[in-house]
Structure 1
C-alpha cells in the first residue's frame, strides 16, 4: 500500500473512532513519543471510547513527553491494563484541566493504577491519608488535584454514579479543610492554644453533594480554652479561620483549590467571622431570616473541634425544623425563589442549568421546602442531601413514588451535565456550552454516542420539562391524594400533613381548602378527573397570589356554577392561557370574582384570543341600544343593559389584572400608564353606553322614539376626561332644547321626566357595582335645576358663573343623546374654559385659594396626607389642578392643550415648553400611580377607596397588582411616598408659584 493509501486508511479509521480533526490526530500519532504504540489497535479503540478522542490523544502525547523515560513505562502499562487505560483516557478525553495537571506532574498517573476496594468509594479518611504529606499550600493543591484525578476517573468510567461522585467531592473538601486548618495551627500555635474552633460546612459541601468546582460554604464557631478571655480567644480563632480560608482560596503556581465562603454566617459579610455558640444561638433566635434556616438545613461539622461542631448542629437543628411556623414563612420563601430567578441574565436564561426554569435549583428548592414543612413532625426527613431527602419524602408519602423517581432521574441527569461541564476546564459554571465541539464532548461523556448533540439537547429539554412540571406537582398533587383515592397502592398524605403543607404555601384556612379540594376532585366522574389534572397547577397559581384561600373558594364557586356545562372544563384543560388567566383573576381580590359569579359564562372570555381586549363605545352602544329596543319595558331594558355592563366590566378587570400580573405565556405590561389609559377608556366607554341605554329606555317609556325636546348628556370630571376608575361616579350635566313648535314648559317637563326616569332606572336595586350619576357640577349646584336649556346655560355662564365652574368645564364632553346639541354646548363652554385673555392674577389667586381650602377641609379626619390618593400631597388633585391651571392660562393660544384628558394636556404642556420634560414626567408618574392605587383598591376590596387598605392581605394584594412581589408592600408604600413627594415639589413650584 502506498504512503498516501495508508494515510487515507488511517484518516478513515480516525473518523470512525470519533476524531473530529483526523489530520491533526495523524500528525500527533506520527510523533516519535508514540512510535512504539502507534500501530497497536488497542490505542485507537481506547481513544475512541473517550468523550473527546482528539483531546485525549493530545493529553496522552503531553503526558508521555513529560515522562523521564520518554513514556515507555506509561504507554506499556496503560495499553496492557484495561482498567487503567479506561481511567486515564476517560479523564484525558473529558478534562483539559486534569490533562494539564498530569503533564505538570507526570508521576500522578500512577494514582489511577490503584484498583482496590478502598479505592472504589473512598471516604474522608482515605482522602486525609492522600493529603497527609502536604506541608504547605502549594503541595496541598497538588495533593488535592491528585485526589480529584481519581474521583474524576471513577466518575467518567461509571465506577461511581453522580451522587457517589458528589459525596466523594464533599469528602475530599472535608479532608482539605482539615489539612488547611492543621497548616494554619502549625503556623500559629499560640493562637491554637487559646481557642477551640469548629468548621461547619454549609450548602453542597454540607449536604455531601459537592460539585467539581464550587465555593465551599462554611460557618466558624469558636470558644475560649485554657482560661483565655472570650474576646482574646475569638481574635485568635478569627486569625486561624482567615488563614484557613487563604490557604484554600489563594491562587499559587498550582492555581487555587476553591474559594471558602463564610457569607452564610450571621449578619453575612458585616458580621464577625467567628462567633461563640451562644452568640450564634442568640442571633438565630432573634434576628435570623427564613433563608438562613433553610441554609442551616445542610449544616454539618467537618473540621476542627468535633465536640463543638456537634454541639452547634444539635443547638440549631430545632430552630431549622420549626422555621415553617415563623410569620411570613411563605412570603420569605417566595421572595428567595424570585430573587434567584431575577438575578439570571436574560441572555443566559435558556442555557442556565442550575437556576433557570426546570433547573437544579427547582429540585433543591422544592425538596427543601417540603422538608421544612413536614420535617417538624417527621425526623426521617432531616437530611442535607437532596436525593436522600427526596427518597425520604417519597417513603413518608409526602411525594408520590412515581413522581419522586422521575425527579430523581432528572436531577441525576442534570447534575451529571453540570459535573461534566465543570470538569472540562475545572471552572465554576452552570451554563450549557453553545459550541458544537463542546456539546459533542459533553454528550459523549454522558454515554450519548449516536447523534450526540441532538440527543443531548433532546434529553436535557425532556428532563428540564419534567422538573418544571413536578416542581408544581410536588406541592399540590399529594394534597389531592389526601382527599381522594387517586393512586391505589401509593401512600396518601395524611390530613395533618396536607394541612401543614397548605398552611406553609400561604393558605390561611387549610381545613377549608381541603374541603374545597375534596368537593372538586373526589369521585370517578369525568369532571372530577379533569379537575384532578387542573388543580395541581391552579393551586400553585393561587398560592402565588396575596389570598390563596379566596382564589380556591372562588374557583369552587365558578366550578359549581358551570360544572355541568360541557365547554367549561374543556376550556380550562385545552386552552393554555385560560386556566392561568382564571386563577389570576379569581385570586386578585373581590371585584372581578363577584362580577364573574353573577355571570359565570363570562369565563369564556379568558380563553378567546381577543377576549381580553376591551370593546369600545362604537361596539358597545349599538349592542346596548338594540337590546333596549327589543325589551318589553324600561326595567327589563335596563336589566339587559346591566348584563352587558357586568360582562364588559369583567372583561376590563380581567384584562387589567392579567396585564398587571402577567402570566407564564404573557409577561406583565411594562407601561403602567398604558394600563391606566386602557382602563380609563374602557370604563368610560362602558359608562357612556350604559347611560345611552338608560336614556333610550327612559324615552321609550312615554314618548316612543322621539322626545319633544332635544336632549344630551355631557360628561364631566373623570367621565368627561375618559379617566373613570372602577369605583368612580359619573359626573354629568343634562342639557335640552325644545324642538320646533314645542312649548318650552312642555319641553322642560319632558326633559325633567327623562332625567328622573333615567336616575330611577339606574338606581334600581341590584347586586352589580353601582353606577351613580352625579349632577352636582350643574349651575347653582344641588339647589339648581337638574336640567336646563342650552340658552339657560348660556345666560347663567354669562352672568353668574364662578371660576371653579369654568375650570370644571375643562372636562366637559358629550357622552349620550343628541350629538349636535352636545357640540353646541362645547361651543358655549370653550370661551369660558379657554379664555382669550388667559387668567388675570386675581383669578389665579382665587384658584389657588380654592385648592388650599379643599386640601384643608375635605381631607378625611385621620387620613395620612402622604397616602391619600385623591387629596393627599402629590396626589390626583395636585396634578389635575396644576394641569388645569396651565390649560386655562394658555389653552386659547395652544390648541393642543384643549383636551379633557389629564395626561394628554400634561404632555402638550411639556411639548410647548410650559413644563420641563422632567417635571412633566414627575407629575405623570404620580398621577398614574395614584390612579392605579385607586383601581387596585377597588379590585381588591370590591368597594372604592382613596387610601391604602389597612388589612395586611388586602395591602399585599394591592402591592401584587402594582407589580410588587410577596412581602414587598412596605416597599410599595415607600415608593408611593417618594413619587408623590417629588410631584408635590413640582406642584409647589408650578401651581403655587414656588
Structure 2
C-alpha cells in the first residue's frame, strides 16, 4: 500500500514516524488474511492516524507487529472510532471466557483481551477521540470486568475442586468480595496503573460437597492467590493488571483474606488515619456485590465520623508533613504524581475535606475526585476559582500521566530525560516542543502546590515557608514508641518490613535495654536523631528486616560512645555503606559490633573498596608502628589489631562489592598476615633481646634474627579466608647451648623458645580489640610433644628420618612467611630434598589413602558416609565442602600425593605451595591430563568460593547435597585413577 507523504510530525519524532511507516508497509505486504481486514482498505485518515499513534506509542506498534490479525480486526471493528457503552467491556470479555477450560487458558484470554483493549484505549487517548473521563472509565471498567469475571471462573472451579463454602451461622453459600482501592475504587485508573485490592468474605464456616472440607478462610485464600496470579503474573502475553494487596489490614504480613467481622473489628479497634484516608475510595469491584455493599456499610462509620471531625486535622497535618518530606527526596521534582504540585496533592486537598466534613455532609461521600471538587464548590467549602484551578491542573496532570505511560505501557510518573521521549510526550500533549509543554506543566504544579500549602496549614508555620523536616522524620514516632503498637506495626509493614512486629520487638529491646537507659541526655538525643534515619535508610535496602536485625546490636554496642552515632547521622553515605555490608554478611556485622572503631573505615569509599597491595600493606603497618614508643607494648598491640581489623573489613567489603575475586581475596588476607607477622617477629625479637641479650651462632658470632616463621596449611598455600587461623612452625639457626650476651643470659634453646612464646602471645592475646590470630603449632616436629622452636639442623633431621608421610604431605604447602633470608634458603633446601626423595609409589598410595580414610571417618558427614553413600547427592543430604568425598581435602591430597610421587623427576612441582599453581605444573609436566587439571582447579575454586560465602554468612562449610554433583564425581574419578582408595 502507498502511505501518504503529508503526515506532519515534529522533527524529533522522525525516527519513530519512519519506524511506524515501515512497519505498516511490512504488515501490509505480509498480510494474507481476509480482505475486509486488510490495511489496503483503510482510508488515508486511518493510515495517518496509525503513523501518529505508533510514532507516539511503542506499545501500540509492538502489539500490531506481534498479533497482526487481532490488530487489523480491531481496526475493522470500528472500536477505535467510537466509545463503548456501559457494560460493553464486561459483555465482550464474558463472551471470550464462555468456553474457557483451564487456569492457563483463563490467563491467556485475559491478557489478550486486555492487550486489545489497551491498544484501543491508548489509540483513542493519543488521538484525543476520548477525553480523560472516557479513558479513566474504560480502564476502570476493564479492570472491573477482568477482576470479577476471573474471580467468578476461579470460584466455580474452586467449588468443584474444594467444595462450596457455607456460612457457619447463616448456612448459605459464601462468595468473596473484592474491594478496589485508590484510583480503581474511584473509577480513575490510569493507562498503566496497578490495582490495590482488599479481599473479604461474609462469615466463617467450611466447604461442603467434598470428602475433606476446607475452612472458608483457607478456601478464599486459595481463590485469592489464584486471582492475583491470573491478573498479575507476567507470561508471554504480558500481564492484566499489577496487583497490590498491601492496603489490607497488617499489610503484607497479614492474612490475604478476612471475614467481614474481622475487617470490622480491625478497623474499629486498630484502623489508622491513613487507612480512613484510603478507605474513602473503596468500591466493590468483584465478587458478591450485595455482600460487598453490606461490608462497605459496616466500614462507613470508620471512614466518616457522624460529627464534624476536627480530630482528623492533626492526623491530616501529619500526613501533609510526610508528603512534604517525601517531595523533598531526590528525584521527586520529576515525578508528576508524588512531587510538589503533583496529582497526590490535588487528591489530598479533596480527601482532607471529605475526612473532616464527610460524616455530616453526605454529598462528600463519593469517590471520583472531579465530582468531589465540584461538590466542594457547590457546598461552599472552596471558592469557584480555586476549584477551577485544581480541576484544570488535575486534568492536565492526568493527561500527562497518560502520555508518559502510553509510550510503552509502563507504570511511571517520572518526566523523561531523553530528548526523543520528551518529544513524544510534548506531541501527545499537543505542544510544539518540550519547553512549551514543561513551562505549562510547571505553572500548573506551582498553583497546585500553593493550594496544597494552604490546606489545614499549621499556624506555627511561617507564611510561604515549609518546615524543615529531618531525614527519616516519619519514623521518629515509631522509635519513640509514641504510636499504638498496631499503628506502628502497620507503618512498618506498609513501608516494606516483612515482619514489622519483630522489628518493633527489636526496637523495644534496644530502647528498654540497660545501655540506653544509662545514657546521658546528649547521648540519648544523638540516639533519637539517629534511629529514625536508620529505619529510613534500612527501607532503601531490599531486605530491611535483615538490616535492622544486624545493625541494632551495633547500635547497642556504641550507645555509650555516641560519637559513632553522630558519625553515622552526619554521614549518610557511610550509613548506607554500613547497611550494605552488614546486610550482605553477618560476619561483617558482628565484627563491627564487636569493634566499632571499624566505623571509621566507612568514611572513605575509595579506600574501603581498594585494599593495598603487599608492599603498601607492609609499609603502612611499619609506618603506624614507628609512631608508637618502643616501650608502649599496649599501644603496639592495639595498633596491630586495628590494622588487621580494618584491612580485613576492606577485603571483605571488596569481596562483597565484587571488586576482588576469590583468589585475590586469599592473596590479600595472606599478605595481611605476612605484614603482621613481620612486625610481630620484629617486636618480639626486640623485647626478648632487650631482656636477655642476643643469642649466638655455632661459630660464636651474634645472631641477627636467625629465625623464620614457616606457614603451613592455608597460610602456606596462600589460601587464607576470613577468620582463618595460622598453622605455624618456628625454626632458628642459633647455637642451642651458647648463652646470650645480655645482662640476664640464657642459653640459645631457651632464648628461641621464649621468642616463640612471645610471638604466640602477641598474636593470640585478647585485648579490647580482640586477638590477631588463632595459632596452631601442632605441625611442628613431634607435634604437641616437640619443642616449640626447632633448630634448622634438628628440623632437617626430623624431616629426613622421623616424619610421617602425612607430615611430608603438609610440607608440600609449607613456605617461609617472614624471617631471615639465610635461614629461609636453608629451609627451602631441606624442603626440596625431603619432598623430592624417591618413594615406593604403592606404599605412598596406601599411606595417603589410609590417612584420608581416617579423616573422612572422623570429620566427614556421618549420615552419608562422608559423601560416599548414593544418597549423598540428594537435596535432603548435606555435603561437607572440605571433608566429604570429592571435596577440597581430596583435591589437596591428590596434589600432595603427586608432589611426593613425582617431584624427584619433576622438580617443578615444588616451585609453588598453592594447589592451583601446583596443578598447573602437573598439567605442564604431563602428569595430569589438561582436562583433569581444569576440572580440579575449577572445582577447587568453586568449593573455596562457597566456603568464603559461608564464612561471610557465619555458616559452617556445609551445603546441600544436590550441589556440585559434576565436580564431586569428577574429583572422585581422578582420585581412583591415581590408585587412591
Report the TM-score when normalising by structure 2. Answer: 0.59
> How much is the aligned-residue C-alpha RMSD, in angstroms?
6.6
Which range moved further: 668-677 or 521-530?
521-530
The 3 A distance-change label for structure 1 pair 721 and 389 is farther
Aligned to 2:922: 909
Residue pair 1:130, 1:147 contacting (<8 A) in 2 also: no
Distance 1:19 1:924 in 2: 55
Aligned to 1:618: 615
Distance 1:181 1:802 in 2: 75
Deviation track 1:35-93 (CA, whole Å, cap 9, x = no partner) reads: xxxxxxxxxxxxxxxxxxxxxxxx9x9647789xxx9xxxxxxxxxxxxxxx9999799
Distance 1:550 1:131 in 2: 51
Alpha-carbon shift at residue 554 of structure 1 (Å):
0.9
Which range moved further: 476-485 or 727-736?
476-485
Flag structure 2 segments of 5+ consecutive residues without an equivalent: 1-5, 22-38, 65-70, 100-108, 154-163, 165-172, 198-207, 234-242, 257-265, 284-302, 304-311, 344-395, 446-468, 696-701, 741-745, 867-877
Deviation track 1:613-650 (CA, whole Å, cap 9, x = no partner) reads: 3345534445656766776677x43x344323432333
| Structure 1 position 554 matched with structure 2 position 557 | no
Distance 1:297 1:427 in 2: 16
Residue pair 1:554, 1:586 contacting (<8 A) in 2 also: no
Aligned to 2:167: none
Aligned to 2:637: 642
Residue pair 2:272, 2:487 contacting (<8 A) in 1 also: no
Residue pair 1:94, 1:424 contacting (<8 A) in 2 also: yes
Deviation track 1:115-142 (CA, whole Å, cap 9, x = no partner) reads: xxxxxxx98447669999999999xx99
**1:115-194 correspondence to structure 2 within 5 Å:** 124-125=86-87, 153=124, 157=128, 161=132, 165-172=135-142, 174=144
1:732 partner SS = strand
Distance 1:816 1:565 in 2: 40
Of 457, 475, 478, which aligns to 2:474? 478
Alpha-carbon shift at residue 895 of structure 1 (Å):
1.6
Aligned to 1:853: 854
Distance 2:542 2:120 in 1: 49
Residue pair 1:484, 1:523 contacting (<8 A) in 2 also: no
Aligned to 2:751: 750
Distance 1:414 1:567 in 2: 42
Residue pair 1:595, 1:647 contacting (<8 A) in 2 also: no
Deviation track 1:487-522 (CA, whole Å, cap 9, x = no partner) reads: xxxxx8644322355474346352332575897999
Distance 1:681 1:934 in 2: 20
Aligned to 2:887: 875
Alpha-carbon shift at residue 840 of structure 1 (Å):
2.3
2:803 partner SS = coil
Alpha-carbon shift at residue 154 of structure 1 (Å):
6.2
| Structure 1 position 697 matched with structure 2 position 687 | yes
| Structure 1 position 443 matched with structure 2 position 426 | yes
| Structure 1 position 713 matched with structure 2 position 709 | yes
Residue pair 1:709, 1:738 contacting (<8 A) in 2 also: no
Deviation track 1:151-188 (CA, whole Å, cap 9, x = no partner) reads: 865676598559x73442231465699999999xxxxx
1:712 partner SS = strand
Alpha-carbon shift at residue 809 of structure 1 (Å):
1.4
**1:961-980 correspondence to structure 2 within 5 Å:** 973-974=960-961, 976=963, 978=965
Residue pair 1:656, 1:679 contacting (<8 A) in 2 also: yes
Alpha-carbon shift at residue 832 of structure 1 (Å):
1.1
| Structure 1 position 795 matched with structure 2 position 797 | yes
Distance 1:288 1:181 in 2: 8
Alpha-carbon shift at residue 588 of structure 1 (Å):
5.3
The 3 A distance-change label for structure 1 pair 545 and 607 is farther
Deviation track 1:667-715 (CA, whole Å, cap 9, x = no partner) reads: x458444444444444454455445544443343432797587222222
Alpha-carbon shift at residue 563 of structure 1 (Å):
1.9
The 3 A distance-change label for structure 1 pair 296 and 818 is same
Aligned to 2:537: 537
Aligned to 1:658: 653
Distance 1:197 1:565 in 2: 55
Deviation track 1:6-42 (CA, whole Å, cap 9, x = no partner) reads: xxxxx9x989x989789x99xx9xxxxxxxxxxxxxx
Residue pair 1:321, 1:376 contacting (<8 A) in 2 also: no
Aligned to 2:896: 884
Of 795, 819, 822, which aligns to 2:821? 819
Alpha-carbon shift at residue 883 of structure 1 (Å):
1.6
Alpha-carbon shift at residue 826 of structure 1 (Å):
1.0
Aligned to 2:261: none
Distance 1:181 1:396 in 2: 39
Alpha-carbon shift at residue 597 of structure 1 (Å):
5.1
Of 764, 770, 773, which aligns to 1:771? 773
Residue pair 2:585, 2:953 contacting (<8 A) in 1 also: yes
Residue pair 1:906, 1:920 contacting (<8 A) in 2 also: yes
Aligned to 1:51: none
Residue pair 1:641, 1:690 contacting (<8 A) in 2 also: no
Alpha-carbon shift at residue 808 of structure 1 (Å):
1.7
Distance 2:619 2:267 in 1: 59
Distance 2:403 2:98 in 1: 30
Distance 2:46 2:624 in 1: 93
Residue pair 1:417, 1:446 contacting (<8 A) in 2 also: yes
Distance 1:823 1:197 in 2: 88
| Structure 1 position 604 matched with structure 2 position 600 | yes
Of 723, 726, 730, which aligns to 1:730? 726
Aligned to 1:512: 506
Residue pair 2:846, 2:980 contacting (<8 A) in 1 also: no
Alpha-carbon shift at residue 761 of structure 1 (Å):
4.1
1:899 partner SS = coil
The 3 A distance-change label for structure 1 pair 779 and 704 is closer
Residue pair 1:738, 1:747 contacting (<8 A) in 2 also: yes
The 3 A distance-change label for structure 1 pair 661 and 708 is closer
Distance 1:790 1:534 in 2: 57
Distance 2:192 2:623 in 1: 72
Distance 2:656 2:188 in 1: 37
The 3 A distance-change label for structure 1 pair 598 and 217 is closer
**1:912-923 correspondence to structure 2 within 5 Å:** 912-916=925-929, 918-923=931-936
The 3 A distance-change label for structure 1 pair 889 and 712 is same
Number of residue pairs aligned between Structure 1 and Structure 2? 741
Deviation track 1:848-870 (CA, whole Å, cap 9, x = no partner) reads: 22221222235597898444343
| Structure 1 position 989 matched with structure 2 position 976 | yes
Flag structure 1 segments of 5+ consecutive residues without an equivalent: 1-10, 29-58, 72-86, 113-121, 184-193, 219-228, 232-274, 300-312, 330-372, 463-472, 486-491, 663-667, 949-971
Residue pair 2:89, 2:141 contacting (<8 A) in 1 also: yes
1:610 partner SS = helix
The 3 A distance-change label for structure 1 pair 133 and 590 is closer
Distance 1:727 1:582 in 2: 20
The 3 A distance-change label for structure 1 pair 543 and 102 is closer
Distance 1:143 1:879 in 2: 58
The 3 A distance-change label for structure 1 pair 652 and 934 is farther
The 3 A distance-change label for structure 1 pair 656 and 142 is closer
The 3 A distance-change label for structure 1 pair 569 and 736 is same
